[in-house]
Amino acid sequence: MELRPLGSTGLRIAPIVFGGNVFGWTADESRSFELLDAFVDAGFNAIDTADVYSRWVAGHAGGESETIIGRWLKARPSRHDRVLVFTKCGADMGEGRKGLSARWIEQAAEASLKRLQVDTIDLYQSHWPDPATPHEETLRAFERLVQSGKVRAIGCSNFDAAQVRAALDAARAHGLPRYATLQPEYNLVERAKFEGPLRDVAVAEGIGVITYYSLASGFLTGKYRSKDDLGRSPRGRGIAKYLDARGLRILDALDAVAQRHGARPGEVALAWLLAQPGVTAPIASATSLEQLQGLVRAAKLSLTAQDVRELDAASADRAEARPGNPA
């Protein structure tokens, strides 16, 4: 499988990054191991997680996903060197453990390294902006992690264009490591958050982009077509907002393109992302081997220019209604 350079990190990744938020949530440890084995055996090589996954589940404290990945890496030493692990810090872990202060980043990194059972995190990302902490402080903390060999490259997630630009300016002004990657929400139903100023700065600065919610929490797979379908997944409530005329129009366009290619709607939605300017790879999850095979097919699917135009036209309204890059 062809690997793509991830910005200026020096890392090269396959066209799909596995979203590790499902590990310990909708995929138990045994299923997670099975999925990770199949993912790597298919030629993929990057897993994205975060310290906060999956704190939103009753009885969880965060760290569940990293812990499962760490156990898998320890149990699969032959696969360890073939896998890049991306994780994040800064989200609310409870009891004041959040943000991008130097003190918290140091603690969070050590905890993630322990859970992941690795010596080095390949990509360590600021999960959310922290207006209470100067960019210089955050980047100096990351610099120490890089210099100590605990982190290879750094990135940011959920930053808007102005925040990315300010962080880059701080890095230049103080001779600090810069964010080499960006993780924005981006998919066929949520286009305006990335398209415009945020994409412009990513392209201009050579920042690698890995998109999250790439399938809009599963909506773009086509399995949610009415309110009656929302109970089929723990994510159902978050999908209800897409069940409007525009959302159904997007599903119709996905169906039409999928039929031409002998593919499935979700595979087409991921292929559309791979065809977008500035995007390195989408992050996508799977909870079954059948879904994982869909990721394999999506990575190999090449859309025509006409396919892309049809999908752009079907999904254009919301992007046009909200131009620019809201925070």
Q: Which residues are catalytic?
A: 53
Query: What end-to-end distance do the CA atoms of the chain give, in Å?
Result: 35
The conformation of residue 242, written as its DSSP 8-state character, comes to G
Residue type present at position 182: L
Angle at 150 between CA 110 and CA 55, to 5 degrees: 40
- Residue type present at position 169: D
CA distance 249 to 71: 43
The per-residue DSSP string of 54-73 comes to TTTSTT--S-HHHHHHHHHH
Are the C-beta atoms of 155 and 183 separated by less than 8 Å? yes
What is the helix (H) or strand (E) element at residue 123, kind and residue range?
A: strand 121-126
| Spatial separation of the C-alpha atoms in residues 310 and 297, rounded to whole Å | 21
Within 13 Å, how many C-alpha atoms sit on residue 220's CB side?
A: 30
